[in-house]
Amino acid sequence: MVKGGNIGLSSLSADVGSVLVSLSWSSPTGEGDADVSVLLLTAAGKVRSDADFYFYNNPVAPDGSVQLLGKAPTAEGDEDRITFDLNAIPPEVEQIVVAASRYTGAGFGDLQDLRLTLADASGESLLGFSVEGAGAVGALLFGEFYRRGGDWKFRAIGQGYESGLAGLATDFGVDIDDAPESERPEDEMVAVEAVEVRTVSEPARAAVAVAVRAVPRPRTAKKRVTLPRVAKKSLAENDSWRSARLFPVSALKSDRERETRATSVLLSVMAQVPEFGRRLTAAFGAPAGRTETFTEVSLPHGDSPRRPDGVIRVERAGKLWTALVETKTNGNALKPDQVQAYADIAARRGYEAVITLSNDVELEGSPLVAVKADGRRKNKVALWHLSWAEVTHQAQMLIRHEGVGNAAHAWLLQELLHYLQHENSGCHGFQNMGPAWVPVRNGIDDETLCQGDPRAVDVVESWERLVRQVCLRLGGELGQKVLPVQRAKRGTDPRARRTALADRLCSDGKLDAELRIEGTPGILALCADLRTGKLRTSIEIPAPEAGYPLTWAKRLVRQLDEAPADLHVETLVEGQTGGPRGTLERLRPEPADIVPANGARITGFRLSLFRGMGNTRGNAESGFIRSVGDSVDRFHTQVVVHLDRRTPKTRQPADGAAAG
């Protein structure tokens, strides 16, 4: 579409009751980001109340008509996704505005490839709109849905707001409160209350954050949350006593038992905790409504019936949305013929989707299972994949950071998390680098691996899956966005990009990745050198634009007072491949050692930690995979958290004097 263009949704698809909007952009530095927002407007062009303003502090409509799903990784980087159940939009709402905003002091002119994509409930893309020349505006209206003659239409807008999110919201009738928290009346403070949840069998263990008291006016500053409190003292006589669990794992002996138990545990919690169930099903195009889940259902298929692991049914306004669920645990792979059979059954019975669930992480352009659609059938069946790491991530975000509105729901999520993270559950996420891993490592060692070897592409795909899982796990722990950074140009074919990375692996013997962690001053870089057997985690931080190099060096060393002594610090010098460097242990008494003696201009500092890749050559979690996760955790907790988040704005002295 072009700016100002409009189109009726009914002309694009027969089923647009539920649609998915994706907003995406890219940054030349990999550090740019923005937040999406939605406003529901009446015929007067104003919200009915502040509750019609959906953004990071108010992401879900009570009736499920609007849900901000957050960011999801794509081949080119990531995109923000929003689901709309247009059938559930109240009749007095005539317009739905879709916008995005940047942080204070940043504009959309710094971002590239600004684009909106609209898809139907099956995930099929319906239209796209690219925004050109956004300029230095703090907020941007991408587009809007509006009613005409009983139909919903979409208009491409591409209009900017210099006043940012607060100005945009105010123009549409939202009463914004952006006073600092210290100046706000007590009755307007956002309060996240930690409520202890006790049961007869577990009197002092579960304590979870469950309730967020509503505020009279929305705040465009992101709200703070409180982590769940843990009971200080157990009533058990000794440490050998184990708390009773709702979902026991001690009796699991076979893969089949693990799959059956895991499916039942997950589907039951999805049905009982609406916030959690809706968060998962909305991404699959399901409407908001009454949800029921089933396990071990027998469905006819030729001479012998098929038994999918589970079924999800959502009812809204007398209509049913149905998905079949196929589950694998403990690293077992999905079987293409089994998934194909379920897709055929779903098409024949008019079901909407087949959802596969396993430890593996699906990549764009490299599906885990390929399914052939029956062109003779009108009903389109969408194939979706969900990893156990994603399930755990969503549960963590709710129970540990965002909170839920019911104490019993909070306790159920706590029990689900305990089950998923137990070593016997088999739901631990990506655990296998694949059969090509050992041959590729051996080929790099003896220099027999040649460019064009398809096994190298397999290893690159496994590496990307591992990195995405690390992002999910770390993001769930921190309650922040953690996303992989893709430097490739948006629109690049994922297979071509992975082939190029595989050729580089063959020549250099290295696997590289970058992670963007919300609130950190730089990009966390990860490099696995298969020739030396070492993992390197690092971050580059820019030099301040005011002051003197020796002052910068002293201040950096003070910030890293609690960092490991073996942390490598390297000075980045303009026009040179590298500057002075040394370990933190050596620099603590002599910070001046990292100041260039020739007065060269310092552009920043690189901080690095090294560790071995594990002492086994197997493809299991006990080797390489676990060492990658441990390296990222160690670097973040021991280095990144100590860095200053502030970004200086003034200019550096031209002479680069080393006075301090």
In three-state secondary structure terms, 7 is strand
Angle between helices 274-281 and 255-272 (to 10 degrees): 110
Question: How high is the pLDDT of residue 177?
Answer: 59
**Model confidence over 297-308: pLDDT tens digits?**
898 887 788 899
CA distance 413 to 270: 9
CA distance 594 to 583: 10
**Model confidence over 607-631: pLDDT tens digits?**
999 998 865 444 444 588 889 999 9
Q: What is the 3-state secondary structure (H, E, C) of 511-576?
A: EEEEEEECCCCCCEEEEEECCCCEEEEEEEEECCCCCCHHHHHHHHHHHCCCCCCCCEEEEEECCC
**Model confidence over 356-371: pLDDT tens digits?**
999 988 888 788 877 7
Question: How high is the pLDDT of residue 222?
Answer: 52
Question: Are 140 and 159 spatial neighbours (Cβ–Cβ below 8 Å)?
Answer: yes
In three-state secondary structure terms, 437 is helix
Question: How high is the pLDDT of residue 28?
Answer: 66
Structure tokens at 182: 């210290």
Question: How high is the pLDDT of residue 18?
Answer: 84
By DSSP bridging, strand 139-148 and strand 151-161 are antiparallel
Single-letter amino acid code for the residue at 468: R
Site of tokens 């990071």? 56
Question: Are 192 and 403 spatial neighbours (Cβ–Cβ below 8 Å)?
Answer: yes
- Give me the percent of the chain exceeding a pLDDT of 90: 32
Question: Are 45 and 144 spatial neighbours (Cβ–Cβ below 8 Å)?
Answer: no
Question: How high is the pLDDT of residue 200?
Answer: 31
Segment-wise mean pLDDT, segments of 10 residues, the chain, 660 residues: 88 83 78 83 91 85 83 69 88 93 77 87 84 84 90 90 81 70 38 32 33 45 46 72 81 83 94 88 84 90 85 87 93 89 90 92 81 64 91 88 79 91 86 88 90 92 92 88 78 83 92 88 91 92 87 90 92 84 91 87 92 62 80 92 59 36
R_g (Cα) of the chain, nearest Å: 26
Question: How high is the pLDDT of residue 26?
Answer: 79
List the helix and strand counts (H, then E) for the chain. Answer: 12, 25
Neighbouring CB atoms inside 10 A of 187's CB total 9
